[in-house]
Amino acid sequence: MAERMLQFVSLPQEMPEKRDAAERREDFGEIYRAFAVDHAERQASRCSQCGVPFCSVHCPLGNNIPDWLKLTAENRLEEAYRLSSATNTFPEICGRICPQDRLCEGNCVIQKDFEAVTIGAVEKFITETAFEQGWVKPRLPSRERSQSIGVVGAGPAGLAAAEWLRALGYQVHVYDRHDRVGGLMVYGIPSFKLEKHVLARRHELLEAQGIVFHLSTPIGEGEGGLSFEALREKHDAVFLGTGVYRSREVAVPGSGLGGVVQALDFLTASNRRGYHETPGDDAVLHARGKHVVVIGGGDTAMDCVRTSIRQGAEKVTCLYRRDRANMPGSVQEVKNAEEEGVNFAWLAAPEAFLGDGTISGVRAHKMRLSLPDASGRQSVEAVPESSFVIEADLVIKALGFDPEDLPGDWKAPELAVTKWGTLKVTPGRFETSVPGVFAGGDIVRGASLVVWAIRDGREAAAEMHQFLSGTESMTSDHAAQAVAAE
């Protein structure tokens, strides 16, 4: 083992420099500056190279984190990138938006007595260096296959599946109802977390690999669309990675008032402005000068409150029914939001939206934690006679997403769904109830993380290769070996 490793005993944790809160409130640029090479090497050298790497164990992709940290510490950056990208189709994205505090860094073994290794920041550094140095190339197939595959959804699951299948030589076509590649990453995640040139750059690589994109092409019978039946006729196999886009509602009086909007509508409008496009209902979906109340406690809620700050809101309040310790969103995101001026009303839930045609306030009541529910999480109950009112000109409902009715929308009753509306698949095989149609990502597991969608896309691609080629079932690791052997 190189002497430069195990430096956690002498080197403190250092994150990349964070832009001042006052500065970052004024734009939508990413808030962290890039690591310099010497800083990245030092932080990578803090890795303990433990025998059981819990960082890798708790990474959905099983990334070889200790190995590429060691290579980074030794300034062997091209090798580090090759190892990182071997298990992660989009390391430049995961390094930015993965909740490392809940996954790899949250399980770093040194953090019991020392702060965790800054894995996400080093991953981003490795990949950006690779792009700058020209090490990132499209994975071109060594031979072409005649079979054609249709992928529905240009989000992380669909793109991961498409990239792997194209590397194996299949003719891959990706269909998406939106006009840009990325799914929720392009319109649902603000640029201060994921700048859009990162997605455009990856789009160019995938096109250079030979993947054909059909954008603004919804599946269904609508204008410009392609029916599910026609899709199946065009391709030898199909992968469904549509994600989940149906916003959850809050069942309180006043939900129909003007100025009460869904998080996805608000975030999409903001991201379209970043492309210099003016969305419909621009005035309604803009926070400038308003008292904004965001309902919810996940990462989407954090995206909404921080976007509102940047749009020039007069005041931004996040209303969440549990306390800080039970908040599902990233701890780091909450900290960033507080630095930028967001107010948090913990243990509070909406009782009614007030106003005469247009929202003027939110009547909420205080909550208290109670006994754990079936999931083991503490349930909440309202505190009697604890109502209070928060002034509001704009209310954003950020309560999560549910699946759309694909069998109904696509006139495909043969597509079986679960009681939650997600697509049913054969466990471990990703095949739906329709032969030759596979699915993965949020449309199967429910609203989840980008990194899980990438894993599903890769694993489903391996199963589709088995289905089309007649080979034995393989994991994506085995599929990688098949690509290398081609």
Residue with tokens 């020392």: 114
For residue 280, the SS3 value is coil
Whether residue 403 contacts residue 417, with contact meaning beta carbons closer than 8 Å, is answered with yes
Helices marked H in 311-422 — which ranges?
331-339, 406-409
pLDDT in the model for residue 80: 98
Provide the β-strand partners of residue 417. 423
pLDDT in the model for residue 1: 44
Rounded Cα distance, 217 and 153, in Å? 10
Whether residue 380 contacts residue 319, with contact meaning beta carbons closer than 8 Å, is answered with no
Rounded Cα distance, 32 and 11, in Å? 21
Can you read off the two tokens belonging to residue 398? 């950020």
pLDDT in the model for residue 142: 95
pLDDT in the model for residue 223: 73
pLDDT in the model for residue 474: 53
Neighbours of 431 (CB within 10 A): 19
Is pTM, for the whole model, over 0.85?
A: yes
Longest Cα separation, the chain: 71
For every residue of 162-215, DSSP letters joined together read HHHHHHTT-EEEEE-SSSSTTTHHHHTS-TTTS-HHHHHHHHHHHHHHT-EEE-
Residue with tokens 């599902």: 328
pLDDT in the model for residue 480: 54
pLDDT in the model for residue 472: 55
C-alpha to C-alpha distances, 99 to 105, 254, 263, nearest whole angstrom: 9, 34, 20
pLDDT in the model for residue 440: 98
Q: Which of 378, 352, 354, 380 is nearest to 366 (CA)?
A: 380
Q: Which of 478, 451, 442 is nearest to 119 (CA)?
A: 451
pLDDT in the model for residue 88: 97
pLDDT in the model for residue 370: 86
Rounded Cα distance, 17 and 400, in Å? 31
pLDDT in the model for residue 103: 94
Can you read off the two tokens belonging to residue 359? 């929202």
Rounded Cα distance, 281 and 266, in Å? 10
**What are the residue ranges in the chain where pLDDT is below 50?**
1, 484-485
Q: Which of 185, 214, 202, 157 is nearest to 464 (CA)?
A: 157
pLDDT in the model for residue 177: 95
